[in-house]
Structure 1
Amino acid sequence: MPHLINNSALLIMDMQKSVVSQFVKDREALLPFQKAIETARSHAIPVIYIRVAFRPGYPEVSSRNKMFGGIPDRAGAGADAVAAMEAAVQIDESVQPQPDEPIVTKVRVSAFAGSDLEVILRSHQIDTLILSGIATSGVVLSTLREAADKDYALTVLSDACIDADPEVHRVLTEKVFPLQAEVRSVDEWADSLSGTN
């Protein structure tokens, strides 16, 4: 039995200002993300935003964690550091959520790690995830693996994923992701929805 559109959700992952500014040199690279969001909204597919953020003082950060362990040292302390961190974790203006679209905060790489994402998905009987985000080898890979283990049906929007290394992006989207997900361009995904109206 095919999945209904309203059992799907589009995840816009790690599109926060600090990440976008680090990975995106040409703002035209964000056009596929914008089209994916517009497509989802026009088909009544929920859009869920995922960001990584920590409480003041970084109680969630372990010094043993190679990726996150140095953040407290780099960020510093005090009110200015807290304000800077709060600004950095806001969703980039190019892909702003609407008031009724949830922003889920996680504390590790996967969208599920330390977040209430799964509660939101269960509450809306969502069993199909459309994945996009930065980076392909980070949040997209980690979320895909965990979501597949949780038996979600998955689609990865290949041109709405960005990685610092184009070859890593290519290998993941062409060789690794297809083992657990459909991999489509945003245009291909949008076209596939047009016959479901």
Structure 2
Amino acid sequence: MATLAARPKPVEIDLKRTALIVVDMQNAYAKKGGMLDLIGEGIDEERTRPVIAAHERLLPAARAAGVKVIYLQFGYRPDLSDAGGEMSPNRERHAAVRKIRKGGPDRDKFITVGTWGWQIVDEIRPEPGDLVVPKARYSGFAGTAFESLLNGMDIRYLLFSGVATNVCVESTARDAYFAEFWPILIEDAMNHAGPDFTRDATLWFFETKAGWITDTPKVMEMLERSQA
């Protein structure tokens, strides 16, 4: 077992049963000119650059330590057949669905499968041996094979990174907790949508109710110590 410094207290994890879950690190959510930038939800270069840099450290270290790397990738088919029927609240409330339905020149900046917005950012694209789980809802558990993959690999500890802290990361980490996985959020490897209090609320919930909070230096220290 490896000890990871975290809040509210250190957590003992088995690295052979651990995965780094990279949530929606896609152009739409992490790049200037992407969806969150276009709809004014807090994406700017000052906030996204350090998040990408954190992944550039975490990903090779995780792979070297034998930690499984799993990307979650949000996307809708061009015909929106996976966005829900006419009575689906997802179809009404999700900004990408509304934009795709409307069409227009910015459509490829959102998350239509195959477009620039849907693609994982160039700096941290998946490597051979990594897994990519497509999803069409905020949570990686909703309507996907994610839970079956984790169980099939005997994974129990989930290190979360990516975007948005208060939307897809939170939704997936909550479902992970409900499914008896151990959710651990890497706070400096995430970015949030909207005002800062949304991030604070997510971190408060997992620190006090349903998980652990750590950061990139602490994860790096644990991974390096495990290989010493």
**Same fold by TM-score, threshold 0.5 exceeded?**
yes
Q: Counterparts of 2:156 and 2:72 in 1: how far apart (Å)?
A: 17
Is contact 2:25-2:120 (8 Å) kept? yes
5+ unaligned residues in a row in structure 1: which ranges? none
Map 1:90-105 onto structure 2 (within 5 A).
90-105=119-134
Residue identity opposite 1:72 in structure 2? I
In the TM superposition, residue 92 of structure 1 has moved relative to its aligned partner by 0.5
**Deviations, residues 160-196 of structure 1 (Å, cap 9, x unaligned):** 11013223212322x2111211100111122123333
What stretches of structure 1 move > 6 A for 4+ residues in a row?
A: none
Q: Counterparts of 1:74 and 1:38 in 2: how far apart (Å)?
A: 40
State the partner residue of 1:57: 79
Aligned residues: 192
In the TM superposition, residue 105 of structure 1 has moved relative to its aligned partner by 0.4
State the partner residue of 2:137: 108
The one of 21, 24, 28 aligned to 1:14? 24
In the TM superposition, residue 24 of structure 1 has moved relative to its aligned partner by 4.2
Is contact 2:140-2:146 (8 Å) kept? yes
Residue identity opposite 2:202 in structure 1? L
In the TM superposition, residue 71 of structure 1 has moved relative to its aligned partner by 3.8
Is contact 2:50-2:189 (8 Å) kept? no
**Deviations, residues 21-47 of structure 1 (Å, cap 9, x unaligned):** 233423234211221212211211011
State the partner residue of 2:188: 159
Percent identity (aligned)? 24
State the partner residue of 1:189: 219
TM-score of the pair, normalised by structure 1: 0.87
Map 1:113-128 onto structure 2 (within 5 A).
113-128=142-157
State the partner residue of 1:42: 64
Is contact 2:23-2:168 (8 Å) kept? yes
The one of 37, 52, 73 aligned to 1:30? 52
Q: Counterparts of 1:140 and 1:116 in 2: how far apart (Å)?
A: 17
RMSD: 2.2
Q: Counterparts of 1:97 and 1:50 in 2: how far apart (Å)?
A: 11
Q: Is 1:170 the counterpart of 2:200 in the alignment?
A: yes
State the partner residue of 1:67: 94
Is contact 2:62-2:223 (8 Å) kept? no
In the TM superposition, residue 4 of structure 1 has moved relative to its aligned partner by 1.7
Q: Counterparts of 1:17 and 1:72 in 2: how far apart (Å)?
A: 16
